[in-house]
Structure 1
Amino acid sequence: MGGAHEKGGVEGQIGWFCRNHLVPVPDVATLAELNAMIDRWDEEDEASRIRSRPRTIGEYFAAERPLLAPLPDEPFEAGRLFTPRVDRYSQIGIRNNRYSVPVRLIGRTVRVMLHASELVVYDGREEVARHERLIAKGGARLDLDHYLEALVRKPGALPGAPALDQARSAGRFTPVHDAWWAAACKAHGEREGTRALIEVLLLGRHLPHEHLVAGLAAALRSGALTADAVALEARKAAEADTRTPAEPEPPATDRATVTSLTERRLAQLPPDTRPLPSVAHYDQLLRHRRPSRPTP
């Protein structure tokens, strides 16, 4: 702004935007959805004209942009800083709400930047968690991934974990996860089947969610109920997504198959031309029998 006299014009434009786009109040599920709607309305307003003017709002702004002062090199931090201590449930309390962090941080003090729509947690300079901000009081935002290291040691705590319920509600824990989990428990028992599922969930730190779900579905169809099989099928799904259109697709089969990890490793080795092992040399020892001892 060139001076304080423009402050009223800016506030007037904000009021115009609110009356034209936010009345009645939009019905959205998350702040991210509302922000996406506001961005779309901004683009629509830029393409409009004020009365009979020959140019759009966006065109006028493009002509004015080179005349504006440059932005500061360092962005302005609009968030509020907190330094809470992580409790024994691997959670921090911010503004009467609870947010999860990785279990390795239990008992430590972390830095939290609270923004209008999200909350970011830092351990030193490392970002360790990011949550959508809770508006109402007394709520909890829990990320199932933050608890996986503890659940590997105590898999029996997974079925009743509140973080699992939130993962289901958010669509991160799908019906495919549940079906594979049930099959793994039936094959390996409740404890080992649940531990295998947790190992699969740990794969989500290195594989995209959609590829992991595809790997679970393929492994379930083939009856391959191990984390290694899911990892292999997920990587095959990732390779299929990155395949160029010119590359031929593998032939489809009626029944899904899971490639053995041993066969996949051996396929990368050169052919073995050595002769098969033989025990013929040991047969020579049969000609030299010990003399039998005389009976007393």
Structure 2
Amino acid sequence: MEYVRRRIFSKRDTFSSIEEARHYFKAELKKLNLRPQILSSKKSAHKMLSEEKPYLIPAMPRYDTARIVEQRADKYSTVTVDSCRYSVPDSLVGEFVFVKIYPDMIICYYNSKKVAQHKRKYGKFQWSIDIAHYIGTLKLKPGALKRSTAFYQAKPELISISDRLVVLILHGVLLPLSAMV
């Protein structure tokens, strides 16, 4: 591993995001594995692996590296992870939700079904709100939309639509933008 780290990250070691670092690592690792090896009759690591693959034992099941916690959805229909709040469907207020915490994302499950996924926030007391999680509440109180945090975190296209279009979305005639993406 140290060899790979030195070869790949000696050229570049500053990235704007974890995703950018992952893409760079994968691309450079592919180049490194296709390079001919001097001690093995000029075969690449990729070629040697493909020759040995039929003789390898099956791989172990994938190991999930997430930190798992159980959180109760609060009155705002959010769960708190490391002082940041993430929305879950409003029907889960008061219910316990299993939360898988990855370095770059948060995934929430209820009764073994995925109910929410958010990009992870690293600041203090930040909120990640998906407006689709509040459709049930907005059907009961459609006027609450314009004053909500969910509305201000929504895509700009959703913010600029007319009240008539919002009513159509809330009544299920049209899909919200989050369902189209």
TM over 0.5: yes
Partner of 1:60: 48
Q: Is the 8 A contact 2:78 2:87 kept in 1?
A: yes
Give the counterpart letter for 1:44 in structure 2.
K
Name the residue aligned to 2:170. Answer: 198
Q: CA deviation at 1:102?
A: 0.4
| 1:87–1:106 Cα contact (<8 Å) kept | yes
Bigger Rg, which one: 1
| AA in 2 matched with 1:203 | L
In structure 2, the CA distance between the partners of 1:209 and 1:37, relative to structure 1 (3 Å rule), is farther
- The one-letter code of the counterpart of 1:209 is M
User: What letter matches 1:55 in structure 2?
Assistant: K
Aligned-pair Cα RMSD in Å: 2.9
Equivalents in 2 of 1:140, 1:198: separation in Å? 23
Of 111, 117, 125 in structure 2, the residue corresponding to residue 138 of structure 1 is: 125
Deviation at residue 108 of structure 1 after TM alignment: 0.8
Amino acid at match of 2:59: L
- 1:104–1:33 Cα change, 3 Å: farther
Q: State the distance in 2 between where 1:178 and 1:133 align.
A: 23
Segments of structure 2 that go 5 or more residues without pairing to the other structure are none
Q: In percent, how many aligned pairs have the same letter? A: 22
Cα distance, 1:67 vs structure 2: 3.8
Greater relative contact order, per chain length (Cα 8 Å cut-off, separation 6+): 2
CA contact (8 A) 1:145 1:201 kept: no
> For 1:1-296, what aligned pairs fall within 5 Å after superposition?
10-21=1-12, 23=13, 25-28=14-17, 31-50=18-37, 54-72=42-60, 74-168=61-155, 173-174=156-157, 177-178=158-159, 181-182=161-162, 185=163, 194-199=166-171, 203-204=175-176, 209=180
Distance 2:113 2:174 in 1: 20
2 CA distance for matches of 1:20 and 1:63? 31
**SS of equivalent residue, structure 1 residue 39:** helix
Q: Give the TM-score normalised by structure 2.
A: 0.81
The CA distance in 1 between the partners of 2:10 and 2:97, in whole Å, is: 41
Instruction: Sort the Cα spacing of 1:161 and 1:130 in 2 relative to 1 into closer, same or farther, 3 A.
Output: same
Per-residue deviation, 1:96: 1.6
**1:33 shift after superposition:** 4.6
> Where do 5+ consecutive residues of structure 1 fail to align?
1-9, 186-191, 211-296
CA distance 1:178–1:134, shift in 2 (3 Å): closer
Q: Count matched residues.
A: 180
User: Is 1:103–1:150's contact at 8 Å kept on the other side of the alignment?
Assistant: yes
Q: Return the alpha-carbon distance in structure 1 between the equivalents of residues 19 and 171 of structure 2.
A: 30
State the alpha-carbon separation in 2 of the partners of residues 201 and 33 from structure 1. Answer: 39
Q: Contact 1:80–1:114 at 8 Å: present in 2 too?
A: yes
Whole-angstrom distance in 1 between the partners of 2:136 and 2:92: 12
TM-score (norm 1): 0.52
